[in-house]
Amino acid sequence: MFSQKQLNTFKETETPFYYYDLGVLNKTLAAIKKAAPPEYHIHYALKANAHPQLLQLIKEAGLGADCVSGNEVKRAVETGYSGNKIVFAGVGKSDKEINYALDHSIFCFNVESVPELKVIDELARKKNTRANIALRINPNVDAYTHKYITTGLEENKFGINPYEFDTVIEELKKLSHINFIGLHFHIGSQINDLTPFKNLCSRVNEINKWFIQKGYLLPHINVGGGLGIDYKDPDTNTIVDFESYFKVFKQFLELQPQQEIHFELGRAIIGQCGSLISRVLYVKHGINTSFAILDAGMTELIRPALYQAYHKIENISSEKKTSLKYDVVGPICESSDCFGKAVEMIETERGDIIAIRSAGAYGEVMSSQYNLRDKLRSVIL
Ligand code: LLP
């Protein structure tokens, strides 16, 4: 739902662009702070949206930064994050990226393989420093989400599997420039049912016990992110139920008093504050289907094309009362450039303003300039 003031701004602005509602972001951040026990460490996953102005606000709310590339670490540093609030994950960290992170004394590398451990140790040795690392464990817990965004199953490329633990421990004993400080988990994204998080807690408990028995009482346990949002009804469920989410961990995770818990949330923080705003260029009536052709396409928001993801699509400028069904498509030369099929929408015509909702996470960051599209603009109010 947009106010008249917002609509007026949209009408005066060249489309397409991302609109970010700071009111929604602030409310979301306040809700997290209220719901999370004070001892919980919440890191914001920059991969969802790394816009400097939004990141600044998130930093001011006290959240840490979860990064998956050297440039994300750089963005966090440039936003003013001190190294000890930055964690760095990813299956393929390059030497350049590791060196940059070492130079900024980041809090922790989430390490995904034995070869990576050795490289970090070697690079830290050359700099005469030590790197804090957590092992990213593949807990083999099903997140029951889209297969492209399930990460915690055994056949995924992410993390270290339990059958490798003995080897990893043997390797760690040989590495002199590594501080082994934690375990890291992440099972997937857009998880709306809390059951997979309960299952994750059970697995973390087992794995944590295993390491404790081996003599490793690790001070940091990171359970990743993945909490989903309501794409169907963003106006009713604008803010995620963070309380129920944190309660699951409070109830089911059995940590030692010395152990601290970390989260890495992306979508649940930034998803609902963003919309992709575009204009209808043409309406084309086929035999069975009417097409609303927008000036935004899969280059601006690829989620529907890539994951068959649903985003609510609204005609927000028309005064008409009747609805029709449209295939809402973009201008890109690909059949997959479709935001939704048979979308029921207020009858539309050239010039109408269309909002594609819940696009704050994995929208702008996944955009491209395929077809030599213009650089994407954004409006933050
Ligand atoms: N931590 C790790 C290790 C991750 O891999 C991810 C997301 C997160 C945290 C943050 O997850 P979130 O809280 O945002 O679910 N592009 C896809 C989503 C990919 C998620 C990748 N990893 C999409 O548009 O749905």
Out of 230, 248, 271, a domain closes at 271
> Residue 149 forms beta bridges with which residues?
none
Flag whether 146 is in a domain: yes
Ligand 1 pocket test: which of 189, 200, 231 has the largest number of ligand atoms within 8 Å of its C-beta? Answer: 189
Question: What pLDDT does residue 140 have?
Answer: 85
Other Cβ atoms less than 10 A from the Cβ of 183: the count is 23
Out of 214, 248, 271, a domain closes at 271
Rounded to two decimals, what is the model's pTM? 0.96
Q: Do residues 94 and 119 both lie within one domain? A: yes
Q: Do residues 253 and 186 both lie within one domain? A: yes
Q: Do residues 74 and 187 both lie within one domain? A: yes
DSSP readout, 102-153? HHTT-SEEEE--HHHHHHHHHHHHHTT--EEEEEEB-------S-GGGB--S
Ligand 1 pocket by Cβ (under 6 Å)? 45, 47-48, 66, 89, 149, 151, 186, 189-190, 224-227, 264-268, 303, 307, 361-362
Range of the domain at 367: 272-380
CA angle at residue 62 from 58 to 66, to 5 degrees? 65
Flag whether 78 is in a domain: yes
Question: What pLDDT does residue 50 have?
Answer: 98
Question: What pLDDT does residue 132 have?
Answer: 98
Question: What pLDDT does residue 150 have?
Answer: 58
Flag whether 330 is in a domain: yes
Q: Do residues 323 and 237 both lie within one domain? A: no
CATH number for 43: 3.20.20.10
Flag whether 10 is in a domain: no
Q: Do residues 281 and 301 both lie within one domain? A: yes
Flag whether 13 is in a domain: no
Q: Do residues 176 and 324 both lie within one domain? A: no
Flag whether 199 is in a domain: yes
What is the chain's Cα-based Rg?
22
Flag whether 3 is in a domain: no
Out of 246, 271, 296, a domain closes at 271
Q: Do residues 348 and 218 both lie within one domain? A: no
Q: Do residues 235 and 372 both lie within one domain? A: no
Flag whether 285 is in a domain: yes
How many angstroms is it from 328 CA to the middle of ligand 1? 26
CATH number for 361: 2.40.37.10
pLDDT along the chain (381 residues), means of 10: 96 98 98 97 98 98 98 98 97 97 98 96 98 95 67 70 94 97 96 96 97 97 98 98 98 97 98 98 94 98 97 97 97 97 97 98 98 97 94
Q: Which amino acid is it at 315?
A: N
Number of H helices, E strands in the chain: 11, 16
How many angstroms is it from 345 CA to the middle of ligand 1? 30
Supply the residue whose CA is at minimum distance from atom 8 of ligand 1: 225
Q: Do residues 216 and 229 both lie within one domain? A: yes
Helices 114-126, 95-103: crossing angle, 10 deg rounding: 50
How many angstroms is it from 360 CA to the middle of ligand 1? 13
Q: Which amino acid is it at 160?
A: I
Count of structural domains within the chain: 2
Q: Do residues 267 and 281 both lie within one domain? A: no
Q: Do residues 132 and 205 both lie within one domain? A: yes
Question: What pLDDT does residue 149 have?
Answer: 55
How many angstroms is it from 266 CA to the middle of ligand 1? 7
Q: Do residues 262 and 305 both lie within one domain? A: no
> Residue 263 forms beta bridges with which residues?
42
Question: What pLDDT does residue 1 have?
Answer: 85
